[in-house]
Amino acid sequence: MNPEHPAAAPDAVDPAAVKRAFGRAAGTYDAAAVLQREVGARMAERLNLVKLIPAAILDAGCGTGEALGALATRYPAARRTALDLAWPMVATAREGHSPRRSALGRVAAAWRGSATPPPLFVTGDIAALPFAAATFELVWSNLALQWVGDLPRALFEMHRVLRVGGLAMFTTLGPDTLQELRAAFRDADSGPHVNRFADMHDVGDMLVQAGFADPVMHMERITLTYADPLALVRDLKAIGATNAAVARRRGLLGRGRWSRMLAALDGMRRDGRIPATFEVVYGHAWKVAPTRTPEGHAIVHVERRNL
């Protein structure tokens, strides 16, 4: 048992490892984040289905800030706050949205006749959000929740910082993600090498337990292909998606095991390319007015009418 995580399951996520990996990947993330951009675009389309004009938005797990521009375009008057666990990611996002880099945004704002407030950048953990209750009307999180060590707590925190009538919209990864890489590592080593991902139905249950109403969940599989096994491994490292399991091997895998893993992955070629499956889970849920007090007593709303 790892003394730093005495109660954690072997394949549970180690937040410190996640923080280090994404901090190292800040400079390479954008070039390799093909899936993140595509899923973010599909997620944004779902905002067309909801009636919401938020005054304040939280991008929880902002990475390099890819979503901030699209959110500003859709909600130009909203105050945007971008949060990430890794300070280098936050710094990269801030640099990408600094006033000297946003001349086009200022021109667009002038054309609309309104000014979009500059985003606020914060380093923090989604499972312990550094914001007061009822701060935001929209919490947006694209492919970040799978890296949180305590997912139920993170969903509770998202609920806490939302105002009544606010919306949480997110994507995460399901259990079939990187099934090819998981199988290839099983041929080489018995330890955990690919993170555990929560099932869509379990995430829906967690939303209800966190206090959300009427969660809507959807799943689709997206397959990326690579010319060779190393190209897949390099892309995952470039976005910070490395093994963050508590029981991961701390030393090198070893040349023999590594070669067996690559050979197993190479044997999975389809039409000459290496597939990498991603089970993408989409979810959204609303925060409604509470019906019970924290002590469990029913809340009765009384309206006085003048006769």
Domains delineated in the chain: 15-175+196-222+278-286 (3.40.50.150)
- The per-residue pLDDT for 295 is 61
Which helix (H) or strand (E) segment is 16 a member of? helix 15-24
How many angstroms separate the CA atoms of 23 and 89, rounded? 6
Q: Name 277's bridge partners.
A: 223
Count other Cβ atoms within 10 Å, centred on residue 288.
13
- The per-residue pLDDT for 1 is 34
Phi (first) and psi of residue 233, to 5 degrees: -60, -40
Among 195, 191, 178, 196, smallest CA distance to 265 is for: 178
- The answer to whether the CB of 4 falls within 8 A of the CB of 214 is no
- The answer to whether the CB of 131 falls within 8 A of the CB of 161 is yes
Successive 10-residue mean pLDDT values, the chain, 307 residues = 43 86 96 97 94 96 96 96 98 85 52 74 98 98 95 97 98 96 81 82 97 96 97 95 69 74 94 97 95 57 51
Model confidence, pTM: 0.86
